[in-house]
Structures are given as C-alpha cells and as structure tokens.
Amino acid sequence: MRKVNKEKLITAAVKAQKMACAPYSKFRVGAALITENGKIISGANVESASYGLTCCAERIALFKALTDGEKRFSAIAVVARIDGGGMPCGACRQLLSEYAPDAMVYVCDSAKPKQVKEFSVKELLPGAFLDFRPAVV
Ligand code: THU
C-alpha cells in the first residue's frame, strides 16, 4: 500500500469545502478520500430545507467514490472551520466502518490545515455493526 500524501488530501478537502451547500447551518464541511491506488475523491455537505435529508461531506465523498467503482480506501480527510476541526458524526462513522474499515481519518480546522488530528476508523467506532446475517443453527 502506498504512503498517503496527507497534505495533498487535506488540500483536496479544503477545495471541496468551498462547494458545500449549507445555506441553513452555514457550517461548510469538506472531505476527501484517497483510494489504495492514490485516486482522490472529494465531497462536501449538502443541506435540505427538510433538514433531516442533509448529507454530510464524508458520506457524499464516500458515495461518489463507491458509485464510481472504488472499493479500497487508505484515508479520508475531513475539514471544517472550527477550532480543532469537526469530528465525523456517528452515521458517517458507521458508513466508513462498512466501506473504508482500514482507512485513517485526518481531521483539521480548514484555517489551520497543518494541525491535523489522526484516528483510525476502528478507533472512531469500536464494535461497529457490520453483519446482520443470523447465526447458522
Ligand atoms: N456535517 C458534516 O458534513 N459532517 C459531519 O461529520 C458532521 C456534520 C454537516 C452536516 C450539516 O450540513 C452541518 O455539518 C451541520 O450539522
């Protein structure tokens, strides 16, 4: 597996953040995933007037990547303009656990892209729900 260029991934997330559609919260989040082959797929949050339909930046990036045929991810960068950066929500942690279980998660304040917090997906959601098949009796 090639080494992730963290700086490049965060730069892609900061670029994606500018495309956020966040007229309600005004909280713009950018995310960028990198595949094991080094391809970067980014996304930003999209909000709805029907608030519950809002989709986070992480899931937008993940859904774009998955429906583009990408299956194996090394890392995801998540940026937002908030001190210390914004942590991925529970729903995004679940989806990352299912589709990017071996990824590293880089979190930072988009105004301080060099101050990065690092987590593994497993660390962010220990004991994730991954399988609904009943045990064979
Ligand atoms: N948001 C994300 O994009 N990612 C997260 O992990 C947490 C929250 C977005 C959703 C909504 O548009 C805004 O931040 C405020 O909750």
Q: What is the pLDDT of residues 17-57, one digit of tens each?
A: 999 999 999 999 999 999 999 999 999 999 999 999 999 99
Is 1 inside any structural domain?
A: no
- Tell me how far the alpha carbon of residue 86 lies from the centroid of ligand 1, in angstroms: 8
Residue 95 sits in a domain whose CATH number is: 3.40.140.10
User: From ligand 1's centre to the CA of 5, what distance in Å?
Assistant: 25
The number of domains in the chain is 1
Nearest CA to ligand 1 atom 6: 88
Contact residues of ligand 1, CB 6 A cut-off: 22, 25, 27, 29, 45, 47, 54, 56-58, 86, 88-89, 92
pTM for the full model? 0.96
Residue numbers of the domain that contains 43: 6-123
Closest CA to 83 of 59, 107, 118: 107
β-bridge mates for residue 104, sequence order: 75, 120
Instruction: Tell me the pLDDT tens digit for each residue of 64-117.
Output: 999 999 999 999 999 999 999 999 999 999 999 999 999 999 999 999 999 999
Q: What is d(CA 114, CA 10) in angstroms, rounded to the nearest whole number?
A: 9
Q: Is 132 domain-assigned?
A: no
Q: Which residues are catalytically annotated?
A: 58
